[in-house]
Amino acid sequence: MDFDPPFQETYKAIFQDSISSITDNGHQNPNNLMVEEYELPVIDLSHLFMETSTSRDDQYCNNNNKKNNEEVVVKEIVDAARNWGFFEVVNHGIPEQVLKCIKYEQKKVFHQPFHQKSHKNVLNLSPNSYRWGNPKATSLNQLSWSEAIHISLTDISKMDNIQHNSLRLAIEEFGNKAFSLAKNLAGILAGNLGVSCSYFEENCPPNSSYVRLNRYPPCPYSSNLQMFGLVPHTDSDFLSVVSQDDVGGLQLFKDERWVAVKPNPRALVINIGDLFQALSNGVYKSIRHRVVASSGGSERFSAAYFYCPNIDARIESCSDRQSSLYRDFTFREYKSQIQKDVQDTGDKVGLPRINEA
Ligand SMILES: O=C(O)CCC(=O)C(=O)O
Ligand SMILES: [Fe+2]
């Protein structure tokens, strides 16, 4: 397809090496990326957003029920963040129309010819906003068979070309709705730690977050090579909200092994990021996850919202200094350390940098 990035030409040497090492060993590649499928905990948020009824008696009963239901949902959210670091939400407040719209627009933009996406700064955003593969990859396990548009919500006003109006509106709408959802969830998780939810009011304004649109083109090598759509990583934010389609491919590292997440397009995936793990002193888990390259001719799309603080926000572990696993740091410091590690080694180190004294 003329819209697919030139993976095969660019990484020819890597593919040849990997294929010949399988042939030389004289056996089929055990595809370790085929793993058991799990259903994530699914949490119904409708009780958190439930309206009260009109009659006073009804209102009294409903208020009591509402409080009980709310307590149950809060416990489900806290337990999932502690035990899984990943969960799914339904009745989450982001209208289906908004999710359909972003999927439609992202498909449209990714289906433009590759030379247009890569050579012209087609969306008027920063030059590295459109990404594919991994320029630093020297081996198969560093290579992501995907392309992405990474958008800082501060920059969204730069998308002022009339041609991109509908994409811009879709991103803004998705960003606004995901912001409310992320803020509510962060407030609940913070409340359980005894951290004031004003922390998020003060440190996470709406435009400090990012939206990332992902496309995973079908990969011709995925039946005999272990190909990632997105290499294993943790997210560098407080929490992420991900809308995925029904193709599947997302996997997470749970209890010392990789498990596949059963796709559920009705639900949004929520995962805890590094900043919440640090803030919670390790109570909430930022779990490694990856995407397996798409096979069987289907492309996969996802849209992720990364709930981030402003660049100079301080992240302090909520426990007392003696038992704290992490030193205080700013988001700026964290991001530049990650950038440096990726530059130097091709990999992000992440939180282990923060528990070094
Ligand atoms: O595509 C997905 O399901 C996950 C995407 C992801 O992990 C990311 O963009 O950080
Ligand atoms: Fe991620």
Encode pLDDT of 11-53 as tens digits.
999 988 888 877 666 555 555 777 899 889 999 999 886 554 4
Residue whose C-alpha is closest to residue 214's, from 299, 147, 295: 147
- From the list 159, 59, 63, the residue with the least C-alpha distance to 109 is 159
Amino acid making up residue 185:
L
Q: Are 135 and 242 in contact (CB under 8 A)?
A: no
Q: Determine the distance separating the centroid of ligand 2 and the alpha carbon of 60, expressed in angstroms.
A: 43
3-state helix, strand, coil in the chain (%, to 5): 40, 20, 40
By annotation, the residues acting in catalysis are 300
pLDDT band at 69 (very low <50, low <70, confident <90, very high): confident
Q: Say yes or no: CB of residue 214 within 6 Å of ligand 1.
A: yes
Contact 73, 249 (CB under 8 A): no
Quick: pLDDT tens for 301-346. Answer: 999 999 999 999 999 999 887 789 999 999 999 999 999 998 888 7
Q: What is the pLDDT of residue 222?
A: 82
pLDDT at 23: 67
Enter the ipTM.
0.99
Residue 286, ligand 1, Cβ within 6 A: no
Q: Give DSSP secondary structure letters for 39-98.
A: PPPEEEGGGGGPPP-SSHHHHHHHHHHHHHHHHHHHHHHHHHHHHTSEEEEES-S--HHH
Q: Ligand 1, atom 1: nearest CA belongs to which residue?
A: 302
- Provide the residue ranges of all domains of the chain, joining segments of one domain with +: 40-52+59-353
Tokens read off for 173: 């709408």
- Structure pTM? 0.93
The reply to whether ligand 1 has any atom less than 6 angstroms from the CB of 293 is: no
The answer to whether the CB of 268 is under 6 A from ligand 1 is no
What pLDDT was estimated at residue 25? 62
What's the mean pLDDT in 99-110? 97
Closest-lying ligand 1 atom to the alpha carbon of residue 261: 3
Q: What is the pLDDT of residue 52?
A: 45
Instruction: Assess whether the C-beta atom of 291 lies below 6 angstroms from ligand 1.
Output: yes
Beta strands in 179-277 (DSSP E): 210-216, 228-233, 239-244, 250-254, 257-261, 268-272
How far, in Å, CA of 310 to CA of 203, rounded?
6
Q: Which two tokens stand for residue 136?
A: 């630093």
| Average pLDDT for 176-194 | 96
Reported as a single tens digit per residue, the pLDDT across 231-264 is 999 999 999 999 999 999 999 999 999 999 999 9
DSSP strand pairing (239-244 vs 228-233): unpaired
Which residue's CA is the nearest one to ligand 1's atom 10? 235
Q: Tell me which residue has its CA closest to atom 9 in ligand 1.
A: 304
Q: How confident is the model at residue 94 (pLDDT cuts 50, 70, 90)?
A: very high
DSSP 8-state class, residue 238: S
Of residues 134 and 173, more confidence is placed in 173
Q: Give dist(CA 331, CA 63) in Å, integer.
A: 40
How many angstroms separate the CA atoms of 285 and 278, rounded? 9
User: Whose atoms come closest to the Cα of 268: which ligand?
Assistant: 1
* Mean pLDDT value across the chain: 90
Helix (H) or strand (E) holding 111, with range, is none
* Percentage of the residues of the chain whose pLDDT score is greater than 70: 92
Query: How far, in Å, from the CA of 304 to the mean position of ligand 1?
Result: 6
CATH superfamily of 40-52+59-353: B-lactam Antibiotic, Isopenicillin N Synthase; Chain (2.60.120.330)
